[in-house]
Amino acid sequence: MLHGHQHNHREYNINNRKNGILRYDVGVDANGMSPVSAAEVIDFLFR
């Protein structure tokens, strides 16, 4: 599941992945104030 606008930090996505939760905050807050591509999300979740 992709979502945004929750004002999370990068650790939110990392912790979800560590816990086997396939949820990714695509908001810029959680991604170094930059947009992310679909390829980056797929790589992050399934590497």
b/e per residue 8-30 (b: at least 16 CB within 10 A): beeebbeebbeeeeeebbbbeeb
Instruction: Report whether pLDDT(31) > 90.
Output: yes
The mean predicted confidence, pLDDT, of the chain is 94
45 vs 17: CA distance, rounded Å: 7
Confidence at 47, pLDDT banded by 50, 70, 90: confident
Confidence at 3, pLDDT banded by 50, 70, 90: very high
Instruction: Report whether pLDDT(27) > 90.
Output: yes
Task: State the average pLDDT over residues 19-35.
Answer: 94
Confidence at 24, pLDDT banded by 50, 70, 90: very high
Helix (H) or strand (E) holding 2: strand 2-3
Both tokens assigned to 47: 């590497």
